[in-house]
Structure formats: C-alpha cells, structure tokens
Structure 1
Amino acid sequence: MWAELRRIGRDADSGGYRRHAWTGADADCRNWFQEQAEARGLAYETDRNGNQWAWLGGPPPASGASAASTGGASSTSSSASTGGTASAWSDSAAGDAVVTGSHLDSVPDGGAFDGPLGVVSAFAALDELRRRGAEFTRPFAITNFADEEGARFGLACVGSRLAAGQLTREQAYALRDADGVSLPEAMEAAGHDPGTIGADPERLARVGAFVELHVEQGRALDVSGHSVGIASAIWPHGRWRFDFRGEANHAGTTRLADRRDPMLTYAETVLAARREAELAGALATFGKVSVEPNGVNAIPSLVRGWLDSRAADQATLDTVVSAIEQAAKDRAQRDGLDLAVVRESFTPVVEFGHTLRDEIGRLLGGRAPLLGTGAGHDAGILSAAVPTAMLFVRNPTGVSHSPAEYAAEDDCVAGVLALADVLEGLACR
C-alpha cells in the first residue's frame, strides 16, 4: 500500500508532495482509497462534502452521500464482515460506529507521512484484525477527509469543518485559490457536486468514536524513547492575513526618504512575530507572502503576509497575536502605510475527551505516553461533535511539512499494531 501511494503527486525536483485538494494528484489518491476499500469488500461512499468513507457493517449513506460500493451495494450490505457479523449491525444503535483514518492531501512539497500514514495504517489495522480473527460488534469505517491541509484554498480542514458545521456553504463558496478558481468550481471540475456541501449532523451522529493516527510533528516521542503516543490536547491556533498598502514607485529614481514601502513594514512585522513568540514561549510564523506589482525594479504597492500562530493556551495566543498586530500598526503609521488585519481561521484549544483517551491508554497497557501538539487535525475539528482521540507515531527528526519528514518502518508497524489493539477494544469482542 505504501509503495503504491508514495509515488502519487511527488515532485521530481524537490522530492516533496503536491497533492492539493481537487487536483489530478488528489484524484489519484482518492482513486487509491476507493480501490483499497473495494479490495477488502468494504462499502465505499463519498459524502456530501467530498470526504471518503469505507464501511464495514456501517449505516447506509447519509443524505447527500454518493454510494459507490462493490456491486452498488449500500454500506450495510458489505460482503466482507469477519465471522459473518454484518447482520448483527442492522439493528445497531445510533452513535456506535468506530471510525479511523486521516487525510491524503498535502502542503506544497510536503512529506510522505503527514496524513497518508493514518490512512494506510487504518487499512493495515483492519487487515491485522482480520488476521487475528476479531469479530466486529460495532459498525466500523475508514475515512479520508478532503482538503485537510488547506494548501490550495488557504483554510485547513475544509472537509471536516463543513461536516461539523464549522464552515458554512456561503463561506466555502467564497474560498478561492491563487488562480482565482473557487472551491465549488474546483469540486465540480473534479466530478463532485458542490451543491450538496454543508453540515452533516446525521452522519456524525452515527459515530461513537473517531481515532486518528498521525506521524508526530515534533520529537517528543524520540526524546522519550516511545514508538507511539496518545494526544492529550491540540494547542489553539489560527491564521491572520496582514495587508500592508503603500505606494508603487520606481526603484531607481525614488529617494529613500520619499518612499512608502510596505516591504519594510512587513519585514519589521516578521521580526516582531519572532520576538513576541520567543518572549511568550509560543509559535508565530509568516510563511506565505504575496507582493504587488511584484517587479524587481518597482517599490511594492501592496505586501500581503499570512501569520500562523499557536500557543499552549488561549491567553498566551491572544497576547502574542495582539503584540504582533500592535507592532505592525506602529511601524505602518511610521512608514505612512495603511494596514488591515483579517483573521481568516481559528481553532480553539482541543482537550481530547478523557473518557476515550483513558480507555485507549488502558487498551495500550500504559505503553504510550500522553503528549500535546501544536498542529491542527481533523480529529480536533470533529471533537466538538463526536468523541475523538489521536495516536502519534515517532518521528526521529521532528521534521514535518517537508520532504525530510520521516518515520522508521518498525515504528510505523508499531503504530498499526497499537491502532489495531485500540480498534479491537472499541469495536470487537
């Protein structure tokens, strides 16, 4: 599975992955997911928001879903249940399905593990449970959430946000990529009806637990010597757009004293972000910038930069972002510029539910430590609607969102076995 997926969307020059939502590479990943589901006799469907599901004894497709299971069967008619238990699920109560998975899209030139490891491990864990002869007593599903990274349209976790009602149809329709293509236009071009997108409470009401496995995006496990960890919480985080507007002019004839150069203000703000984050023990990054008119010999008229900031608690995050905004305002006033700051997305702190988290710890026999993370995930978005938890697999370098992202095969196998143990305890007898 890993070898098949690993070649999709890889850039030959950088060695990184470019699997942006609703592109050709994304379509290839989605086809791979469907093939894996059907090879295991799972009932495949795409929900109203483009998220993919592979059901073993699950509920029939919810409103707005597109069923495409083997033989055109609904999810309740899967022929691949272990021990012939599909009939036991027909009268199952709402809210008892156990779901696992992650995402397959990537950031620009991202690594091979972020997202795909969780999806590959989900299928591998099912294979392991079948090898053990485990008998499922609850509906089970594997999922691939659409557009988790937000690399194309600038908003992370679009598929799960839509499903959870944290992103409205109107807000989703307003999203555009760098070429001006709207999200609905991209979805339609990829063969998905954008008219169906929106909150999906009926589907989420069927989920009793969602467990997402992910490569660790840090070195806590490497330091502790563990292969697998359990997430305790996700830091609050958000994205802010800073628009610095000055005056375009000739780079070779305009005196320095006469310039209204937004690049200078932007540069000072980047330095202020680093300074404020260090003082507060938080994180702040300007990782994306656009310039107009973007000429080598032209003073810019507009510099637009995007701030990503995260902290262990809400008060610290508010303090850092406010300080960065104030530094930008002070410098903009000094440079004679106009400044606008827009919060484009925000996710509050996610403290994973202790009941599910503690049960997973018990199932793993104490061999997985608790650790927090500053990275956002679909599990964090869904936590407001369903019980969620996360497993992390050791990343010896701590590098992520980069071609250098890595996890050793032994640790990946340990992750699969840990996930299988968790799923067996939650969904089998």
Structure 2
Amino acid sequence: MSAGELLGQIADVGRDTRRGGYSRHAFDAPERELRTWFVERAQRLGLDVETDRNGNLWAWWGAPGPDAVVTGSHLDSVPGGGAFDGPLGVSSALDAVESLQDKGFRPAKPVAVVVFAEEEGGRFGVPCLGSRLLTGSIDADRALALRDPDGVTFAEAAAATGLDAGRVGADPERLGLIGRFVELHVEQGRGLIDLGSPVAVGSSVIAHGRWRFSFTGQGNHAGATRIADRADPMLPAAGTVLAVRRLARGREDARATVGRLVPTPGGTNVIASTVDLWLDARVPGAETPELVEEITVAAREAAGSEGCELAVTRESYSGDVVFDEPLRRALGEWLGGPPELPTGAGHDAAILAGFVPSGMLYVRNPTGISHAPDEFAEDADVAAGARALTEVLERLAK
C-alpha cells in the first residue's frame, strides 16, 4: 500500500473541529488510535512490533541487532496541525518496506520503523520527548513530572498506557542497535518550491529552544479596581510579545514566536493574577540564548513598571545540528544529486544525530505552510519521497 493510501486510512483520526487540522497528542485517544493502526499495518508486513521503555514503537524487519537501519518519524501533532507532519514519514517507511519485500529484497542488516512519542511537545511541552528520553538528553525524573494543561503528569499518562514509569529514561542498549537513522519529513517551508525539486536531503537544523515566562500580579475585579491601583500581569506579557518581534528582527535569520499565552483565572471580568507565555526562539549558531536574554531584560522592565514579578524557565534547548556528512553525501549520490536544505524545524533525527549517524529527506510542500491545516504534499511528490526512502533503505541494508 502506498504512502498516500496509508495517509488516507488515518485522514479522519484526530480531526480538530474547533481549530481545523488535527490535534493528536501523546497518549490521548487519537494518538492511541494511530498507534493501533501502525501496529496493525506493520504486522501485516510481517514486522515484529514492540514498545520501548519510553513509549516509542519499533517495528522490526529481521531480529533486532546491532548496526540496524532505522527509519520513521512520529504520529502526534501540534494543536490544529497538518496531515503530513510526522505521519508522512511513518507511512513512507511502511511503503518502503513493502516495496522492498515485493521485489524480493532480503536485508543483510536489521531494519526497523520507529514511531517516536511526543515529538511535537503538544501535550507535555518538551519537543522530541521520546528521542530525548531514549538518548538520555533529558532527565527521566524531570520528564515524568511534566504536566499537560489538565494537570496530568507524563508519568500518569505513560502508566495509563501500560508503561512502567520506573523504567522510563535513557536506553543505551537500544540506542546502540542503531547503525544509521534516516527520517523522511514533509518540508516545513518553501525551499523546495523555489528549487523546483520534489525531494531534498537535510543538511542542518538551527539551534532552538522553548522558555516559559510567568508574570505574577494581583488578581482583582475588572470593574471595581481603578487603573492606578492595578498590578495587571497582562500588560508586561503583552509588552513581551511585542519585544519578541522587535528584538528578533534585529538579528539575521532569527525566528522568535509567542504562540501560547495563558492568563489565570481567565475570566472576562477579572484582572489576571498570573499570565504565562511560552517563547519559541531559534537563531543559527550560539545566539539563541543571547536573544532570549535580551527578551528577558525587556520582560523584566515591563513587569517592574506594572508592579509585577517575572520568573523565566527554560523548558528545552538544542544547539545547531549538522547531519552526518558521509551519510549525507551518500544520500545525495544514491538519489541523483537532490538539493540540500537546512531547516529551522526540530526533528527526532536532530536529537539522534548527537549519538548515531543520522540524516533526513524532505518532501516538497507546495503551500510552504506547516503546523497548520494548509500543510500539504502532492501525491506525485509523496510517491517520489517514498521511492527515495526505498532506495536509501535498500542501499543501507545490503
């Protein structure tokens, strides 16, 4: 079954009628339905499926062993995300395995399709959580204590799916099985539109991180409290949003975004007592923390002028990643010299790149839009991406 047909099978899972697009988050009902779908599809191909200690799914073609060729992506989404971000890589991997089986190929090395948990961080706030836990890039106790917007901890959600919270954390034995990792993903930008190519090889991922800014003031009555008597945390929060744009504009190729702001208690006729906002900042090189520090200074000044307090917490950070050069060069040669693309989007491949040779393939997105309902890929380009991944897996597994 082709990658496009596989995507069609899950097109109704997790549709978000309020936001548009899809909302599929770690261990929620839509994501669990997608996990069941993946297990069934993999087993139809004769693959042996297992869940690791961190909730990542592995479908093995051949007995698990060292120097394995691993591909895959994720099935979760951002709130109101597109249909391709994550599932395209998983569907293309299943398509590639089936294509190789149909031609009678027998891998000389183990091959695995992996589905990483909580790649987007849409539920517990930390992106690439499954791959970070696998590699030990995040402390297990910290991960287990993460809470979703309803107050459910990662430990509680994991336990509800049958995971043993006591075993969550770094898994060097499993990590040591990976010889090469290649992730296929829809492009999250317009590079391939401008280059006129259906497929590209990933070159690098720019540094990025997430920070929470918590402003504390005095909750009060919206009608009975004079303006002069207020300590309203909404004002410094709003000022910080504006400062993010102003300060990011002053740095070349910087990206900084406030996409989430939560006032407490959140009543229309109530002055908020606290306001939390989340900053996503990305700058090539080592300048991301410098930009965040500039934003923090502006936020503290805004908080002080309103009589409020500010606490800033770094929730995640990854430095610049350059994908493995020999693997990148080989991908280009095997695929006939497609363009190479850097990206500002994070991926599980970028987490693994610090531990095992990793690479990426991108499939053209004609809208240039991602993390939104308008994300798209043409059927012909989806097929081209699956063919490219098939070629790569065959070469690596010989």
Q: How does 1:2-151 map to 2 (within 5 A)?
A: 2-59=7-64, 94=66, 96-151=67-122
Against the structure 1 CA distance between its residues 47 and 265, is the aligned structure 2 distance closer, same or farther, given a 3 Å change threshold? same
Q: 2:348 aligns with which of 378, 381, 393?
A: 378
Could you tell me how far 1:57 is from its partner in structure 2? 1.3
1:405 matched residue in structure 2: 375
In the other structure, the counterpart of 1:291 is 263
Segment drifting more, 353-362 vs 123-132 = 123-132
Letter in 1 for 2:32: A
1:86-142 per-position Cα deviation (integer Å, ceiling 9, x unaligned): xxxxxxxx3x11000000011111110000000000011112222333331111111
Q: Kindly provide the amino acid, as one letter, of the partner of residue 389 in structure 2.
A: L
- Deviation string 1:291-317 (CA, Å, 9 cap, x unpaired) is 1121211211111111001112222x2
SS, match of residue 341 in structure 1: strand
Deviations 1:247-271 (A, max 9, x none): 1222213222222111111111100
TM-score by length of 1: 0.89
Listed one character per residue, the Cα deviations across residues 216-273 of structure 1 (whole Å, up to 9, x for unaligned) are: 0000001110100111111100000101111122221322222211111111110000
1:53 and 1:141 in contact (8 A); partners too: yes
Task: Please say which structure displays the higher CA radius of gyration.
Answer: 1
Checking the alignment, whether the CA contact within 8 Å between 1:23 and 1:190 is kept in structure 2 is no
Aligned length: 392
Residue 319 of structure 1, CA deviation: 2.8
| Alignment TM-score, normalising by the size of structure 2 | 0.96
How far off its partner does 1:192 sit? 2.4
Aligned-residue offset at 1:13: 4.7
Q: Look up the SS of the partner of 1:381 in the other structure.
A: helix
CA contact (8 A) 1:58 1:97 kept: no
Is the 1:246–1:262 Cα contact (8 Å) retained in structure 2?
Answer: yes
Which residue does 2:358 correspond to in 1? 388
Give me the identity figure in percent.
53
Stretch moving more, 127-136 or 217-226: 127-136
Match of 2:285 in 1: 313
Q: Could you tell me how far apart the structure 1 residues matched to 2:281 and 2:339 are?
A: 26
Letter matched to residue 391 of structure 1 = L
CA deviation after TM superposition for structure 1 residue 329, in Å: 1.1
Could you tell me how far apart the structure 1 residues matched to 2:108 and 2:131 are? Answer: 26
Question: Are 1:261 and 1:301, in contact at CA under 8 Å, matched by a contact in 2?
Answer: yes
2:113 alignment partner AA: I
Q: Distance between the aligned counterparts of 1:340 and 1:2, measured in 2?
A: 42
Q: Distance in 2 between matches of 1:218 and 1:113?
A: 13
Q: Assess, with a 3 A threshold, how the Cα gap between structure 1 residues 403 and 206 changes in structure 2: closer, same or farther.
A: same
Task: Please tell me whether the aligned partners of residues 329 and 339 of structure 1 are also in contact (alpha carbons under 8 angstroms).
Answer: yes
Quote the offset at 1:416 in angstroms.
0.4
The worse-fitting range, judged by mean Cα deviation, of 357-366 and 249-258 is: 249-258
1:218 aligns with 2:189: yes
| Alignment match, 1:280 | 251
Given the alignment of the two structures, is residue 414 of structure 1 paired with residue 374 of structure 2, yes or no?
no
Gapped regions of structure 1 (runs ≥ 5): 61-93
